Structure 1
Amino acid sequence: MTKKTTYLILMVICTVGFWLFNNFYTPDTYTDASVVKDNKQVKLENYLQPSSTTGVVVKHNYFTLSYNEKYEQAEWVAYLLNKQHLTYEDRKRPYFIEDPKVKTKSADWRNYKRSGYDRGHLCPAGDRRFALQAYNETFYTSNITPQKNDFNAGVWNRLEKKVRQWVKRDKELYVVTGGVLKGHMDEIGDEDVAVPNYFYKIVAKGKGDNLNVIAFLFPHKESKKELSSFVVSVDKIEKETGIDFFEALPKQTQDKLEAKVNVTNWAL
């Protein structure tokens, strides 16, 4: 065998090996309870956990979600954002991997390849830079939804930045977000991952009966409009999604909190 032939064989082996590694290798999990720090800062109070239309509630160390297998994504992801969480650690982006806590398996990341859609985070990776595990957990595909790039990098990103501005002032916020999973939706990949036509985000500050809440509902397209143009009542989002977002609060408190369109004390 000539040196040239040996070289070509080694090149083929390396190329095939790299392709197999890139397309078929992923780690099993990013979750290790033994290394969790400051867990009290990210644990949701019961009254902040929304209802689940599927009964599949998954609690990770740094966010909680309700998974909808039919649409291969979370119907909501909820988390606390503390001012101390806003760090500027330069984290290396990990693999997108299936969520080991979703028994039916969350969508494979390959559904998104060449789909024309971003792998849009629901709990933003930028909100979880304060710890390596917290950051990596946001790359479970249960926390991912198909988003148009101009929407993801545009008006949706503007709102995520606004939430970070608010938490610098208000110290701690509760955030719950997701796509509206109903009606006719486009699908991507072999697992028919649904592409929501609308996305919502609800942000709350305060405690218990003294919550102050603002809610947003966006068509899935880029917009240059002010964020205030997309403010709606929580009742509106509940009607669209079938989710009860503050179900553990007394009904009278819920009715008062959820019925109005609120921009008071929110700097928009």
Structure 2
Amino acid sequence: MTNSFFKLFALLLCGLFASCSEQNIPDIPNSGGNEQNTGFATIDQTQVKAKGGSFILRIKTNDEWKITCKDTWCTLTPTSGQGNRSITGRITANTGKERTATIDVTAGTEHVTFNLKQLPGDGSNPDPDPEPDPDPTPDPTPSGYAGRIEIPKLKGGSMNIFHTWTTKENGKETVTYSYEYDCTKKHVRWVAFTFDNYTCQSNVKRSNAWADDPNIPAQYRTTKSDYNPKYTRGHMVGSGDRVYSLAANKQTFYYSNMSPQLQENFNTGGGVWNKVEDQVQDWGQIQNVNDTVYIVKGATIDNESNIIEYYGSGVAVPLYYYIAVLSYKNKQYKGMAFYVKHTDDNKTSTVKPYAMSIRELEQKTNMNFFHNLENSIEDNVEINYNSSDWSWKN
């Protein structure tokens, strides 16, 4: 069936039941290239290299769906479900002749078959690699921006994009923030940035410079309709975190920096997450040129049990958000973290109940924070947390 039929069908349902919106049954994006779009399902590529890799299959439906593939060298996770969803597929390396995987997708009464071709690895392709390493991060000393103190251990892989935004003013480069973006979830795994006596300054106003992130392939980007009307476009790196320069503030408005967040009692006003962000900004007020506060903010998208739903064109809605804080002041390190459930019925007058040690947050998120520190310093700041060591707004 065509996209036009599904649009008409969606509008008829909305008219009959007055309980849905067109955003609930979004159009599947067409990225050009070798993407194959069938109306209710799309695969982002129809040919992969001999060395293998990953691909994404998206489903747009209100029905239950199922995926089958008899070729063991092609796997998809998950293979069944209901409603809109992005599914990750993986292809192992091919050391023989060209081969084709047949992927069958059913949703309600609809059915489609995709044929995914893999190039040969018998000499016509000079570098048939083994199956891609799911964690190719250089260890123990990452190079470049990945070696900065605030950067957690990268997940890596072909579907996770690591990038660092910088600005250059008066001949000096300043790091705005870094992120690792999961293309399969259309959401950042985390963002990381610092407050020092320059980046903590308030020199400009909110820019509202909404824009696509050119580092994210078009088929994995999000748009305004992927959040509204159910959720707000929640900044991961807040606009208020980067008001030391206009260029830096504009970089916080890339859609790759947005997360679908509930508004009332969470993202705005007196919402719990809003209060946590305000508290961290308060700790980021730096006076001494030698002091720095290192921040990692993230969302629970790695584990399906910690995803509320997939909204819009397949954007993961996290069940929890977190912040890891590492403070270096007066030549001393200390650390702490927050872990907050994404809900609109959790009013609070203080953020202290959501605070914990960084090590506890690592256990909840399966993340490795501040691993670029010396081991002895890392262990000390991650294990030890005392509420009285921190100044609290409330």
TM-score, normalised on structure 2? 0.52
User: In the alignment, which of 117, 137, 160 is matched to residue 277 of structure 2?
Assistant: 160
Distance 1:133 1:178 in 2: 23
Q: Secondary structure at the match of 1:86?
A: coil
| Correspondence for 1:205 | 327
Q: 2:258 corresponds to which residue?
A: 144
Among 152, 157, 165, the residue aligned to 1:60: 165
Alignment deviations for residues 52-98 of structure 1 (CA, whole Å, 9 cap, x no partner): 22352111111000111122111110001234433153344122x22
Contact 1:65 1:76 (8 Å CA) reproduced: yes
Contact 1:44 1:80 in 2 (8 A): no
Post-superposition offset of 1:134? 0.6
Structure 2 distance, partners of 1:249, 1:177, is 18
Q: Which protein, 1 or 2, shows the higher relative CO under an 8 Å CA cutoff with sep ≥ 6? A: 1
Q: Which amino acid aligns with 2:379?
A: D
Q: Relative to 1, partners in 2 of residues 1:44 and 1:155: Cα closer, same or farther, differing over 3 Å? A: farther
- Indicate conservation of the 8 Å contact 1:200/1:218, yes or no: yes
User: Equivalent residue of 2:244, what SS?
Assistant: coil
Q: Is 1:74–2:196 an aligned residue pair?
A: no
Q: Deviations over 1:118-138 (max 9, x none)?
A: 111111001212212111100
Pick closer, same or farther for the CA change 1:58–1:157 going to 2, 3 Å.
same
Code of the residue aligned with 1:188 in structure 2: it is Y
Q: Which amino acid aligns with 2:222?
A: A
Contact 1:54 1:67 in 2 (8 A): no
C-alpha separation between the residues in 1 aligned to 2:204 and 2:150?
Answer: 28
CA distance in 2, matches of 1:136, 1:174: 21
Would you tell me which structure has more helix in proportion to its own residues?
1
In structure 1, distance between residues paired with 2:283 and 2:146: 19
* 2:359 counterpart (232, 235, 238): 235
1:16-27 correspondence to structure 2 within 5 Å: none
Residues 78-93 of structure 1: matches in 2 within 5 Å?
78-84=192-198, 85-87=200-202, 89-93=204-208
CA distance in 1, matches of 2:283, 2:317: 29
Please report how far the alpha carbon of residue 174 of structure 1 lies from its aligned counterpart in structure 2 after TM superposition.
1.3
| Aligned match of 1:193 | 315
C-alpha offsets along residues 152-185 of structure 1, whole Å, 9 cap, x if unaligned? 0111111222223223356532111011112142
Aligned-partner SS, 1:244: coil
Aligned partners of 1:110, 1:51: CA distance in 2, in Å?
32
Instruction: Give 3-state SS (helix, strand or coil) of 1:146's partner.
Output: strand
Instruction: After superposing the two structures, state which structure 1 stretch, 47-56 or 66-75, moved more.
Output: 47-56
- 1:8-31 deviations in Å (ceiling 9; x for gaps): xxxxxxxxxxxxxxxxxxxxxxxx
- 1:174 paired with 2:294, answer yes
Alignment-derived partner of residue 110 in structure 1: 225
Asked whether the equivalents of residues 207 and 249 of structure 2 are also in contact (C-alpha less than 8 Å), the reply is no
1:188 shift after superposition: 0.8
Amino acid at match of 1:174: Y
- Corresponding letter in the other structure for 1:143: N
Q: Whole-Å Cα distance in 2 between the matches of residues 212 and 44 of structure 1?
A: 22
Q: Which amino acid aligns with 1:256?
A: N
Q: 1:47 to 1:174 in 2, by over 3 A?
A: closer
**What amino acid does structure 2 have at the position aligned with 1:152?**
N
TM-score (norm 1): 0.75
Structure with bigger strand share is 2
Give the number of aligned pairs: 222
* CA-CA distance at 1:239 after TM superposition: 2.1
Does the Cα contact within 8 Å between 1:98 and 1:105 map onto a contact in 2?
A: no
How many Å separate the matches in 1 of 2:287 and 2:341?
Answer: 28
Alpha carbons of structure 1 residues 264 and 109: separation in structure 2 relative to 1, 3 Å: same
Match of 1:31 in 2: none
SS at 1:165's partner residue?
A: helix
Letter in 2 for 1:142: S
Question: Following TM superposition, by how much is the alpha carbon of 1:233 offset from its aligned partner in structure 2, in angstroms?
Answer: 1.7
AA of the residue aligned to 2:327 = K
Question: Could you say what the CA RMSD is over the residues aligned between the two structures, in angstroms?
Answer: 2.3
My pick for the range that moved more, 197-206 or 153-162, is: 153-162
- Within a 5 Å distance, the mapping from 1:6-21 to structure 2 comes to none
Corresponding residue for residue 267 of structure 1: 391
